[in-house]
Homo-oligomer: A and B are copies of this chain.
Amino acid sequence: MMIRIFVTGGTFDKEYNELNGELFFKDTHLPEMLRLGRSRVDVDIKTLMMIDSLQMTDDDREMIAQNCIETPSDKIVITHGTDTMVETAKKLAGRIPNKTIVLTGAMIPYKFGSSDGLFNLGSALAFVQALPTGVYVAMNGRWFNWDNVWKNRETGRFEELR
């Protein structure tokens, strides 16, 4: 049972450029994180884009959906910026039947030491193995159905709508 991981960027993978003091993207840290977690899950990682999710366009989301449809795997984890993670989940819902899709991300870049990323990755990989087909967001140690979640920007937490 191979799990497909699609990388789209987000805070997860941001790094600090010490020459100009800005945050930027270079490569994904997923393989390094899986090594650190001593993961023995059978995964196949593909980087679709490396962007801040506030910059994600409809075309980008369409591309993500196409990749979810075309992959032979029926278990998919998508790493994604938290700001528009719910929007992408909505775009995928209903279009990819018979697959379990889990979106996750991080509030703090993995490279900054105090990141929630490793915790979230562990939970997303577990949820994608154990939840029935559907589109979910995995954040704060919890899972949410795509149609019952929002990011509270005051607190930085994901919450149920009802």
Contact = CB atoms under 8 A, between A and B. Distances in A.
Interface in A1-41: 11, 14, 16, 18-19, 21, 23, 33-34, 36-41
B126 A138 contact: yes
A121 B126 CA distance: 11
Interface residues of A, number: 49
Copies per assembly: 4
B116 A36 contact: yes
A90 interface: no
A114 B111 contact: yes
Contact of A130 (B14, B119, B130): B130
A33 B119 CA distance: 9
Interface stretch (A55-63, A65-73, A91-99, A140-148): A140-148
6 contacts: A18-B108, A19-B153, A37-B116, A37-B141, A40-B140, A123-B125
